[in-house]
Amino acid sequence: NFKKERRRRRRRRRRRKKKKKKKKKKEEEEEEEEEEGRRRRRRRRRKKKKKKKKKKKEEEEEEEEEERRRRRRRRRRRKKKKKKKKKKEEEEEEEEEEGEDPNHI
């Protein structure tokens, strides 16, 4: 009877140990999965942030380029206007000089 009891206790102990080991292993695996998930999320977040930053930079560069084009156009227009004005004034001066001609009606 005593031997049987001892054997039973030993089996129980072994079973408990195995269960504990199994539980510990399971918990570690879950922890590992959770950590991996966190890493993945972090990576995704970083990637998204990088993408957003890149997009913003590209938009800013595009805006700057557009602004440069606008300035260039304005400069050209101003130059053309000045040239036109100068030409007109020169023509008026020539007309005035011709107007002094006695044969001019």
The pLDDT tens digits of the residues spanning 84-100 come to 999 999 998 888 877 66
The full set of domain ranges for the chain reads 51-82
Retrieve residue 98's tokens.
């011709």
- The whole-angstrom separation of Cα 65 and Cα 62 is 5
Question: pTM, whole model, 2 decimals?
Answer: 0.49
pLDDT at 46 > cutoff 80: yes
Q: CB neighbours (10 Å) of residue 23?
A: 10
Amino acid at the residue 94: E
Residues 104/98, Cβ–Cβ less than 8 Å: yes
